[in-house]
Structure 1
Amino acid sequence: MTTLTTYQQKALRLDKHIALTANAGSGKTFVLAQRFLKIILDEKIPIKKIVAITFTDKAAGELYNKISKQIETELIGEVDLSKKYRLKKIREQLVSANISTIHSFCLNVLKEFAPEANLDASFLPIDKESSNEILDLAVEESFQEIIIDSENSSSLKNCVRIIGSKSNLIKQLKLLVNKRRSFLKMKSDFLEKSIQELNDYQKSLFDKYYDSIFLHDENTLVKRISVFNYDVASSNPKNKYSDQISELLERLDQQSLTKIGRLQTYQELFKVMLTGKFQIRQQGYAPKELIESHLELNEILSEQASIISKFDLANPEVVIENYSRFIKDITIVLDSVISKYSLMKKEKGFIDFEDILLFTEKVLEHEEVIQKLKEKYSYIMIDEFQDTNEIQINIFLPILENLNKGNLFVVGDEKQSIYMFREAEIGIFNETKKMISEIDGKENLLNLPHSFRLSKEIAFFSNQLFSNLFRNYDSSFNEVQYNELVFFDKGENPNSKIEVLVSNQTEEEFYTQPELICSKIAELINEKKVELNQIAILCRKRIDFTELEKELIKEQIPYTIIGGRGFYQRQLVLDLYNYLAFLINQNNDAALLAVLRSPFYSIDDSQIFLLSFQKGNNLFEKLKASASINSDMEKVIAILQDHIDFVSQNRLSELLRKIFNDTAYTSVIINRINSKQELANIDKLFEVAQSYINQGFRSLYDFVNYLNESIQLSEDEGQAEVSASENSIKIMTIHQSKGLEFDAVFLYNLQTKFNLTNVKAKDIDFDKEFGFISKIPLDNYFEEYKSPINISVYGNIIKRKEVAEQKRLLYVAVTRAAKYLFLCYDDNGKISEDSFAGMLKSVFPSLSSFSHIKLDGSLKKMFKKNESFEEVDIPISIDLETYTKAEDQKLILSGEKSLENKFEINTEKLIDKSKGEVITASQYAVYRNCPVKYQLIYELGINEISEMLPSKVNYEYYDNDTPQTGSERGTIVHHLLAYETLKENLKQTAESKFKSSDFVIEESVRLVENYYSSEIYNSLLKSGNHYNEYEIYSEFEDIYLHGYIDKLIIDNSRGILVDYKTDNINESNIISKIELYKNQLMFYAKMIFDRFPKINDVEIKLIFLNDLTKSYSEVVKRDSNALNELENNLKKLIHSVRERKYNFNKLNCGNCQFFINKKCIKENQINEKYSTV
C-alpha cells in the first residue's frame, strides 16, 4: 500500500487538530508515519519539535521503522537535489526523534526539569521489585508510628478488624498505593469532612446514579408490570398475588417515596411476583399461556430483579454511617503509608512507575516549564488514544494551551479499548473529540473505515456480529457505537473461512478443544493454506496455555508462547531453585533429589532408589558412598562438589553459567518442541539473577529466598520474549495480540465465564468519583458484611462497563484474523450469557444445534481504480460450519525427511561438532585481529606471556606506565562508572576500594571527573533507561555469545551501547584503535538486536576517556550489512576452533605482543613450552 486512500489523505491536514477513529487493519501506523514525515518536509521544522506517543515500546519501534522505510522510499524516487539533501538530513536525525511511550516522554521532561519537579537531578526510576521492597518497609514503619500515636492508633486497629488481618490490610494498602493519584485528590475531603457530610456525599452518589440501576426506562417498566398484573387479575380474579402487587405499584406512584424507598418497594414487588429464579410466578398467580405471551417482559424482569436483589437495604442509614467512619480510618492509614513511601524514595533519589506521570503532571503546574515545553514542541501525535487516561491528556493539554496553540493529532478505535484494568478511560477520547469539534469543527473528526487486513468473509462476519452486540449503546457505561468495516479489495481473492470448533460434552465420547485445534492446524499446514508462523491461538487467560501446550507437544506441533504467564512456575526455575537450595544446604535431601531427577543429571528413579541402601546421614553422603560402585555417580559428585566450592566466591552469574555449562540441562531441553522458549527463559533467568545482585548487598542465600517467594507469589510474571519470526504457531492472550495480525486465528475457550467485578468483603479498591470501594460489617466484625447503597450502585455500573469491554475484547480477537477464523468452545448444554460463546449465541442462536449456518447480506467494498479509489456495495453469503470431531491426521512440516532415505558414506575429515560453547566479545575481537593470536591466547593459554615481553600499544596505559598500572587504572575507572559514583565521592571510593598508588588513583579520578563534565555524559544522561556493566547472552547457531557492556541505554526502539577506554590516544593510532575495538562493539550490537526484538537501531559509542574529542560514534541498523559480515566471521571462528585451523593476519603484526624480532612466536618457537604450537 503506497497510495493514500481518500480517508487517509484527510488525516494529513496539518492546519487543524484531528481526532481519527481507525478501524482494525485500516493502516493507521502508515498514516502516522506519513503525517510525521509531512510535518518535517512541509513545515520545515526541526524533528525534535514533533512528539509521537505510542502505547508500547514495540509500537514505537514499528512507527520508527515505518518512517525510516518511507524516507528510504522517498529518497529513491526523489530527483530534486535540495529535497534529497533534506531527506538525508532527516534520516540522520531520526535516531533522536521523540517517538516513545508516554512514560519515556515524561522521564525526559523530568530529567530536564528535575529541580522544578522537586526531584534529585540524578533521580533513578526503579522497577516493581525495588518499589515493592521499599513499600514493604514503608508500611511496616507507618504501622509502628501509628500504633504509638494515641490519636490515630484506633484507626489502624479498626482497619485491621474490618479487613480481617494485618497481612490482608498490608496487601490492600499496597494495591491502593498504586492507585494513589485519585486518592490524593480526594484525601483532604475525607479528612476534613464530618461524618454527616460523608454520609450525605454517599447518598448524593446514589441519587446521581439511581437511574443506572434500570436497564430500561423505569416509568415504562412500571406501566408494563401494571398492564400485565391487570391481565392476570382479569383472567384469574381469585389469584392471591395481584392485589399485593397492585398495592406495591400504587406505592411506587407516590411522589414522596425516596429513591431508597423505591428500591425497597421493588424488592418486595419482585419477591411477590417472581420465583426464586426471577421468573414470573405461575403457581397461584399467572397462567402459563399469559406468561408465554409476555416473554420479553419476563426476561426484562428477570434481569432487573437480579440487579436490585443485590442491594443491601435492611439498614441503609446505619451501613452508610459505619462506612463513613471506615473511610476516615482507612484514609489516615493510607495517607501515612503513602507519605512514608514517598519519603523513603526521595531519600534514595528513586521514583516508581506511577511517580513518572504524577511528577510530570505536577511539574506542569509551573508556568515557566509549560512555556519552555510550548517552545520545544509544536506537533503532538498520540496513538492508541482509546487507551489513554485523564492524567496523560492532562500532561499534553497545557503544552498545547488547551488546543489554542500547536497541533494535536490523536488516533485510536473506541471498539478496541480493552485496558480498563490499567485505568484506561474510553471517555477521554470522546471528551477530546468534543474539544476538537468546538475549536476546529466536526469536519476534523475523521474515520478510517476500510480494513486492508480482513478478507471480505471475516469483515462481513464482524459486521454481522458486532453491529448486533454494540446496538443501543449507552456511553455512560463505556458502550460504543459500531462503525462497520469496509472491505478493501487488494485483488488477491484469498481462500477464507469462518468455522466453529465445539467440544460437544453432551456426548459420551467427545473431542477436546486442543484436539480439535491440533487437527485443524495439521489440515491448514498439510494443505499449504497458511504458514506455521501465521497461526495464532488467542486466549482470554494465560491459565489456558497449559492444556494447549500438552496437546501441541503430544502432536509435535512447534509453538511459541508470547508473554506466557508463570515464568517463576516453569520447571526450569523450579529446577534451578532446587539446585541452589542444595548448594547452600547439603542437608536438603528434597532439593538434591529433585536435582538428580531433573535434566541437570537425568538420573532414573531405580538408581536413586538404590542410593537409599548406602551409608550416610543425608542423601548427599549416600550419593558419595555410591561412587565406589557407580562411575556415573562419581562424575555427578565431582560436579556438585565443584559447584559447592564455587558458592563461597559469591559470584552468582558465574555460578549459574557454570551450572548450565557443566551439566546436561541445555542439551536436554534443546531437543524439546518448545526449545526456543526454554532457552529464552534461561537467558531471562540469568538477567533476573544479575539484576537482583546488581542492587547490592545481596548473597546467594538472598537470591534463593527471592526465587522461593517468586515461585509462591509471582504468578503473573511473563516468560521471556521469543522472536515472532520463529516458524511456530503463536499462543498468546487477546490483550497481547492487540496490533497483530495472522492468517489463521483460533479463539480458545470461548465458553469461559467472564470474571466480572464483585465488591468483596475485606477487599478495598478506589474509584476517582466513588472513593473507597469495599463492604462493612453492620454492628460487629463477625456479622455479614454489607455494601452501602452508593457502593452497590458502583458495583452495577462497573459490571456493565466490564461487559461492554468484553464485547470490545471479542472484537479485537475476531479482527486479528486475515483469512481463517476458528471459534472454539466447550458445550455441555449450559453456555453462560456472560461469556464470548454466550455473546455469539445471542446473535446466532442456531449455533446451539451444532448445525450449518448461512449468513446473507451486503458489504461495502473499496478498491483502487487507476489512481483513485471507489466504493461499492456487494452482495455476500458465507457459511459457518460447526465441527465436533477431529480428523485423524498428523502435521507434516516441509523439509522433514523420509525415514526411507538411503545412507551415504562420508569420507571427509571429521570436525569437532561440540555444541554450546561460549564465545565472548573479547575472543571475537582477538580472532578478528588475528586468528593465530586467538589460538595462542585462548587455546594454548599463553595469556600471561606479555609479562616477559616488551610493551605493546594494545594495553590501556600511558607511555610512562607499566602494564600493571594501566590495568589498575582501567579497573578503577570502570568501577567508578559502573556504580555511577558521585563526583564528590570519587577519590574516597577509589582509595577505599583499591590499593593503588596515589598517582594511579588521582589519574583515574581525573578521567572520570572530566567525563562527568563533558557534553557526551550530559547527553547520555538524558537518554532512556540505563544499565551499567550489563551482562548479555545471545544464541548463535549452536553456540552462545556472551559479554559485559560498560553501559547500555534502552530508549524505546533505540539502543545506545557505550564502551569506555583509558588508552593513550593520538593521531597516529586513533584509526587502528577504533578498528580494533569496533569489532567488539559490533559483536555487542548483534547481541542487543538478538536480545531486544523491539530495537531497530543501536548507536555504538567508543569513549576514549583520555581524549574525549577522539571518541567515536556510529549508528548500526538491524538490517546492516556489517551485521551480516559479523555473522559470517563468527561462522569462520567456530569452524577454525573446531577444526583447529588458524591463519595469520599479518596486517596487525606490528601491534601484537606476540610479534618479536619481526616474527610471530608461533614461528620463532621461543620457548620449549610452546614448541608444539
Structure 2
Amino acid sequence: MSKQIIDEVARHKIEQHLTQNFLVEAGAGSGKTTSLVNRMVNMIKMGTCNISEIAAITFTKKAAEELTTRFQTKLENEWRVEEDLSKKQNLESALANFDQCFLGTVHSFCACILRERPIEAGLDLQFREIEEREDQHIAIQAWNNFFEKMMVKDSERYHFIKRLGIPVSDLRQCFLRLIAYPDVDWVYVEKESPNISRVYHSFLNLLKEANHAIPSEPIEGRYDKLQELILQAIRKNKYENHETDAMKIGLLETFNKQLTITQKLWSSKEDAKYYLDKIVDFVEMKIQPLLEKWYEYVHGHIMPLMIDILHEYEILKKQMSYVNFHDLLIKTALLLKENSEVRGYFQEKYRSILVDEFQDTDPIQAEIMFYITAENLYEQDWTRCRPKQGSLFVVGDPKQAIYRFRRADIDIYNKVKELIGNQGGEILELTMNFRTLDSVTNSLNSFFEEKLPIQATEYQAAFKPLHAYFNDNHSTFSGIYQSIIPKEYVNKEEMIQFDAFQIAETINKMIHQGHQPKEFMILTRYNENLEVYYQALLENNIPAHLSGEITLANMTEFQELFHLVEFVKDPTNTVQLLAVLRGPFFGVSDQELFEWKYSGGSFDIYWTPSEDNVVESTFDFLQAFERLQTYVNWKYQYSPATVVEKMIEDIGFYPLLLLKGYGKNECQHLNSIITTIRSASTFYEAAELLKELIFTKRLVLNMDVGANAVRIMNVHKSKGLEAEIVFLANPVKKIDVKERISLHIKRTNTTSYGYFIVQKSNGFQTKMIACPPEWSIHQTEEYKYLIEEETRIVYVAATRAEKALIISTSEKTNKKNPWNELVFAVQPNRIQVDDIMESEITEQEVQRKINVSNDYINELGMWINKHIQPTYATYSPTDEKDDIYQLDIDREKGGGMLWGTLIHEAFEKLIRGMKIENHIEDLLQKYGFSLQRKQEVYQSIQSFKHTKIWDQLQTAEIVLTEVPFNVRLSSEDPLYKKIRKSKDQQYPLLVKGVIDLAYQYKGNWYIVDYKTDRSKDREGIVRLTSYYEHQIALYRELWERIMHTSVHQTLLYFVFTDDICIV
C-alpha cells in the first residue's frame, strides 16, 4: 500500500516552471534524479532549450553515466508517445544530436571550456590533465628541486630550518596536503623567538630537586613514569648538547602530557605527591604557554617556506603544461571572471546549467555557476552575480553533506541557497521517500529529529522527515535489527573477524531462503578492514564487489609477493629470506626452519651443505634455494618488469588468487602493478614501486554495477546507492574528530583564509611542530563543523536501506562503535541466525580448480613456446657477480647490495659537485638504513677525497660519473666470443651496463669501478681483485671501442678498506 505524494506541488514546479531558477533540497530516496531528468526532457520538448544548450553537472562519473542512460531512455519514451508534431520534432532532434549535450563532472565541464579557449585562460594549446598520482609525483619533484636550489643558493635558510629541530623530510607530507588548497591564503605571523633558557633552567633545577626524592636503587626494581622522565631529562642535559632552543624544547615537550606516579616507589608518599603537583603546576603555568609561543614562532618560518615550495610546484606544472583537478576549476573560474567576452560566449552556448549533489562539490564550482549564468557580464564578485531566470537549477541535500575533507563546505551551500532565494529563484523541498519502507523511516525520523535542529544553523542542516511512500505490509524481513558480537570477543581484530563471519553467515542463510546477493550492501564508517568483510563473503562462496580505498598489503598473497621481490632485490637479507620460505610460495614450517638451523644449515641461498648438515628437509631447502637463485639471476638477464612477471608465473600467483576465492578485481590489481613497474629502469626502482603500490591505499571501484553480488564499501562511496538489506558493519572504530583536526578554512565572499598546523606523524601518534596564533579558537570552530558532519554520515548510511537495516554492535562495549547513538536511540531487536551448514569447498572442487588452472597454464605455456623466437640475447658485466657470495672470503657485517648502491649514489653526488653532507640522511632513509650509519658514509667519502683519484679529478679535463653503455655485438665479433662461451643460439648480443667513473687526466683516460665488499684482510682484497679482473677488462675494451681511444689505466677502488688496485 502507498501514500499520497505530499511534495507534489514542488515536483510539478521542477518539471513545468522551466524559466525559473530553483535550488531543490531533495531528501534521501526522494527521486531527485527522476525530477532532474523530467525537467531536462520538458525543456527539450517545450523548446525552452536545444539539447546542445544544456549542461548537467554531476558529482561522479558513475552518476553521469546513470544520468545519461536515464535521460536518453526518457527522451525515447516521450518521443514514442508524443502526439504534438512540434514537440515530437524537438524530441527527435534531441535524440539525433544527443552527443552534443554535456553530461559529466564539473572537472570535465571545466576541461571542455579550457580546451575551447586555452589562450584566454593562459594555457598551452596542448595542456594535459593529470591524475592525482601523477600530480603527487610532480609535487615531489618540485619539492626536491626547491631544496636542491636552496642548499646551493640559500644554505643559510636551510640550516636555520634544521636548527629549529625539524628535518625537512618531516615537512613533505604537510606540503603534499597543502597542494589540495590552491585557492586558500595561508595565514601566518612572523614572531620573535621566545626566551626559552629561563624556563628551561628553572625546570631543570626543579627536576634535580625532585631527583633527591627518587631512591638511588629502584624499589621493586623499577621506576614509575614520572621518575623515568626525570632521570632521562637529567641524563640528557648532562650528556647531550642542549645549547639550541630546539633541543631545550624537545626536553620540555616530554613532560607535556598526563603525568602519573606510583607513590610506594618514592622515598616517601609525601614527596611523591609533592613533586607531582609541583611539576604539573610548572608544566601548566610555564611550559605549556612557552610551547605555544615556540610553535607560533616556528609556524612563522615554516609557512613562508611551504608557500615558496608551492610556488615552485606551480611553476613546474606550468613548464610541463600540466593541469590537475584543482587547476581546471580555478583557471575556469578566473577565465569567466576576468573575460566578459568569454563569459558571454559560454552563456550563449550553455543556456541552462543543472547541478546535482551540490552539497558535496568544490566551493569554486559555485563561482563558475554564477559567472556562467550572470545577467551582468562584467560583475567580478560572484556573490553579486544575479543568474538569468531559467539558467540555473541546483539539487542538493545538506543532510548528506559529508565531504568536508575533500574541500566541500556547507558554508558555501548555505551561501548559494541564500543567493538563489534572494535573486528571484525559489527553494523547493522534496521529502517523499520512494526507497525505504515506513517500518525503517519511522524509527529513523525519531532519531534524526533529536539530532538535527528545526532550523538550519551555520554548521548543520535542518531536520526534514522521511515520508515513506511504501507501507510495510508485514514483509518477510523488514525493519531495523542489530547483529551482536558476543562479549567473549574483546580483541579488536577478533571482533572484526567475528562481525564479518556473522554477516557472511546471515547473508548465506538469506540466499538459501531465496534472496539474491545483489540485494545486500555492507557499509563501514571508514575504509579500514573492508577486505576482511570481502574475504568472509568469498570464503562462503558469496559473490562480492568491493569499492573504496583498500591496501593490498592486507591480503596475505600480495604481502608475500612483496617479501619475495624484496629478497630478490637484496639476496643477503636474511629476514626477507625467512619470510619467503615461511610463506605460501615455499611453505616451510617453523619446525623445519629450526631443524635446518640446528643441524648447521645456513640461511644463504648460495650455501652448500656438508654431509653433517643433511636433515629430512634438506632437499626441500636446496630446491627452494635453487629457485631463488634463478630469480636473482633473472635480474641481470631481463628487464625489471619481466623478472616480476616471470616470478609471478613460476610461483603460480594467478592460480593462487583463484584458489583463495579472489576474482577479476584482484587480478586487475596485479596487472596494474606490472604495468606501473614497466617504467622502472632498475630492479631496485621496480621493487620500490611495487612496495608503494602494495602498501599505499588505492581506490577500488565496482565497475560491474549490474552484477549479482554483495556490495562492500565505506559510507562515502555509498552516496546515491541503495539495497534492500543494508549492514552497518565494523563496530570497533570511532575516531575522535578533534584529534584529526589540522586545518581550518574560513571563507569570505572574496577570499579563503587557511589556518594550518604542521605535525609529525609517529605511528598512530602525531607531534605538534608549528601552529598559527590562536589555533585553539580555529580548532574549536572546525570541530563544530566536523562533529555535525558525523551525524550526517550516519544519516547517509542509514538511508541506503529499502527494507531492512542491520547494525553491528558488541555485547561487551560500544564505546568505539560509530553507529552507537543510532542503536541506543532505536533499540533494535537482535537478529537471529540459526545454525547452518558450513559452506566449504569440497576436496573434489579444490582439485577441479587446480586442474583447470594447470590446464590453462600448460596450454598458455605451449602456445608461448611454439611462437617465441628470440632475436637477440642480453649480457651485463655484472651478470656473473652472483657467485661472488661463494668466494670463501672473511667479511665484516654491514654490507650488501643496497649498501653498495647507497655508496655509489653518494659518490656520484659528490663528484657532481653537490654538498654531500646534506644528502647522507636522505640516502640512508631512501635505502632503509639507520641514521646511526651517517658517520660511516661520511668517513667513506672523506677517505675517497684523500685518494689520488680525487686529486686527479680536481684538474681532470673531462669527468663522467655513472656512465651507461649499450653495445650490440654480432656473433662474429671477437669480443662476442670472449663473453659467450657456448656455441649454441648465436644471436646478436646486447651488452649493457654502467661504468662508475671515467675521467680524462693529462690527456689519458682512467676508468674506476667502486667495490663495497667488506673484506677483513689483504688476502681477501687480492682474491676479489682477481675475481673482478674480467669485469674491469671488459669495461676497458668497451670504452675503447665506444670512445675510439685507448684507456691508460683501469682501477678498482675498495671503499671499505680504502684500497686502490690497478688492474
> Which bracket does the TM-score occupy, shorter chain normalised?
0.5 to 0.7
Show the counterpart of 1:448. Answer: 430
**Quick check: 334-343 or 513-522, which moved more?**
513-522
Show the counterpart of 2:1048. Answer: none
Kept in 1, the 8 Å contact 2:640–2:677? The answer is no
Kept in 2, the 8 Å contact 1:106–1:357? The answer is yes
Q: How does 1:96-111 map to 2 (within 5 A)?
A: 96-111=100-115
What is the alpha-carbon distance in structure 2 between the residues aligned to residue 919 and residue 85 of structure 1? 56
Show the counterpart of 2:65. Answer: 61
Show the counterpart of 2:132. Answer: 128
Q: Secondary structure at the match of 1:397?
A: helix
Shift of 1:691: 3.9
1:803-855 deviation per Cα after TM superposition (whole angstroms, max 9, x unaligned): 111111111111011111112222435747x94313543x45xx4xxxxxxxx
Q: How does 1:382-531 map to 2 (within 5 A)?
A: 382-401=355-374, 402-405=385-388, 407-441=391-425, 444-471=426-453, 475-476=457-458, 478-489=459-470, 494-495=475-476, 496-503=478-485, 505=487, 512-528=498-514, 530-531=515-516
Amino acid aligned to 1:175: R
Q: Secondary structure at the match of 2:821?
A: helix
Matched, 1:734 2:715: yes
| Alpha-carbon distance change, 106 to 888 in structure 1, aligned in 2, over 3 angstroms | same
Q: Secondary structure at the match of 2:124?
A: coil
What is the alpha-carbon distance in structure 2 between the residues aligned to residue 317 and residue 596 of structure 1? 55
Q: Secondary structure at the match of 1:744?
A: strand
What is the alpha-carbon distance in structure 1 between the residues aligned to residue 631 and residue 47 of structure 2? 64
Q: Secondary structure at the match of 2:317?
A: helix
Show the counterpart of 1:172. Answer: 174
Show the counterpart of 2:830. Answer: 882
Show the counterpart of 1:1083. Answer: none
What is the alpha-carbon distance in structure 2 between the residues aligned to residue 533 and residue 623 of structure 1? 57
Show the counterpart of 1:42. Answer: 46
Shift of 1:63: 0.6
Q: Secondary structure at the match of 1:445?
A: strand
Matched, 1:824 2:808: yes
Show the counterpart of 1:667. Answer: 655
Show the counterpart of 1:541. Answer: 526
Q: How does 1:802-881 map to 2 (within 5 A)?
A: 802-828=786-812, 831=815, 835-838=818-821, 840-841=823-824, 843-844=825-826, 847=827, 880-881=828-829
Q: Secondary structure at the match of 1:501?
A: strand
Matched, 1:379 2:362: no
Match of 2:94 among 90, 93, 96: 90
Shift of 1:722: 6.0
Q: How does 1:781-792 map to 2 (within 5 A)?
A: 790-792=774-776
Amino acid aligned to 1:525: I
What is the alpha-carbon distance in structure 1 between the residues aligned to residue 637 and residue 723 of structure 2? 49
Show the counterpart of 1:8. Answer: 11
Kept in 1, the 8 Å contact 2:545–2:712? The answer is yes
Match of 2:671 among 686, 697, 709: 686
| Alpha-carbon distance change, 325 to 663 in structure 1, aligned in 2, over 3 angstroms | closer
Shift of 1:20: 0.7
Kept in 1, the 8 Å contact 2:563–2:580? The answer is yes
Amino acid aligned to 1:577: F
Gap runs ≥5 in structure 1: 197-275, 277-308, 778-782, 848-879, 901-909, 921-934, 945-992, 996-1173
What is the alpha-carbon distance in structure 2 between the residues aligned to residue 602 and residue 592 of structure 1? 12
Shift of 1:940: 7.4
Kept in 2, the 8 Å contact 1:540–1:734? The answer is yes
Aligned residues: 745
Amino acid aligned to 1:469: K
What is the alpha-carbon distance in structure 1 between the residues aligned to residue 347 and residue 615 of structure 2? 76
Amino acid aligned to 2:461: V
Match of 2:855 among 895, 911, 914: 914
Q: How does 1:199-214 map to 2 (within 5 A)?
A: none
Gap runs ≥5 in structure 2: 193-258, 260-280, 375-384, 761-766, 846-850, 871-965, 969-1063
Show the counterpart of 1:972. Answer: none
Kept in 1, the 8 Å contact 2:44–2:90? The answer is no
Under a length normalisation based on structure 1, what TM-score does the superposition of the two structures give?
A: 0.56
Match of 1:758 among 736, 739, 749: 739
1:1100-1130 deviation per Cα after TM superposition (whole angstroms, max 9, x unaligned): xxxxxxxxxxxxxxxxxxxxxxxxxxxxxxx
Kept in 2, the 8 Å contact 1:743–1:817? The answer is yes
Shift of 1:168: 1.8
Shift of 1:590: 4.9
Shift of 1:384: 0.4
Shift of 1:544: 3.6
Show the counterpart of 1:1093. Answer: none
Amino acid aligned to 1:542: N
What is the alpha-carbon distance in structure 1 between the residues aligned to residue 627 and residue 118 of structure 2? 52
Shift of 1:330: 3.0
Matched, 1:796 2:768: no
Amino acid aligned to 1:689: I
Match of 2:21 among 14, 17, 25: 17
Shift of 1:724: 4.1
Amino acid aligned to 1:349: S
1:574-615 deviation per Cα after TM superposition (whole angstroms, max 9, x unaligned): 333334344455555555555565555666677777877798
Shift of 1:624: 15
Shift of 1:455: 0.7
| Alpha-carbon distance change, 915 to 725 in structure 1, aligned in 2, over 3 angstroms | farther
Matched, 1:705 2:688: yes
Kept in 2, the 8 Å contact 1:810–1:836? The answer is yes
What is the alpha-carbon distance in structure 2 between the residues aligned to residue 95 and residue 85 of structure 1? 17
1:238-268 deviation per Cα after TM superposition (whole angstroms, max 9, x unaligned): xxxxxxxxxxxxxxxxxxxxxxxxxxxxxxx
Amino acid aligned to 2:552: F
**Quick check: 11-20 or 71-80, which moved more?**
71-80
Shift of 1:397: 1.2
1:655-678 deviation per Cα after TM superposition (whole angstroms, max 9, x unaligned): 5554444442222221323x11xx
Shift of 1:53: 0.9
Amino acid aligned to 1:562: S
Under a length normalisation based on structure 2, what TM-score does the superposition of the two structures give?
A: 0.61
Q: Secondary structure at the match of 1:110?
A: helix
Matched, 1:32 2:36: yes
Kept in 2, the 8 Å contact 1:53–1:99? The answer is yes
Matched, 1:348 2:320: yes
Q: Secondary structure at the match of 2:55?
A: strand
Shift of 1:631: 9.7
Shift of 1:124: 1.8
Kept in 2, the 8 Å contact 1:650–1:699? The answer is no
Show the counterpart of 2:208. Answer: none
Match of 1:748 among 729, 737, 740: 729
1:507-537 deviation per Cα after TM superposition (whole angstroms, max 9, x unaligned): 9999954454344334433333x32221122
What is the alpha-carbon distance in structure 2 between the residues aligned to residue 942 and residue 788 of structure 1? 64
What is the alpha-carbon distance in structure 2 between the residues aligned to residue 508 and residue 616 of structure 1? 41
Shift of 1:388: 2.2
Q: Secondary structure at the match of 1:889?
A: coil
What is the alpha-carbon distance in structure 1 between the residues aligned to residue 669 and residue 694 of structure 2? 15
| Alpha-carbon distance change, 115 to 556 in structure 1, aligned in 2, over 3 angstroms | same
Shift of 1:322: 6.3
Shift of 1:59: 0.7
Calculate percent identity across the aligned residue pairs.
23
Matched, 1:357 2:329: yes
Show the counterpart of 2:563. Answer: 578
Kept in 1, the 8 Å contact 2:27–2:466? The answer is yes
1:623-646 deviation per Cα after TM superposition (whole angstroms, max 9, x unaligned): 999999999999978976776666
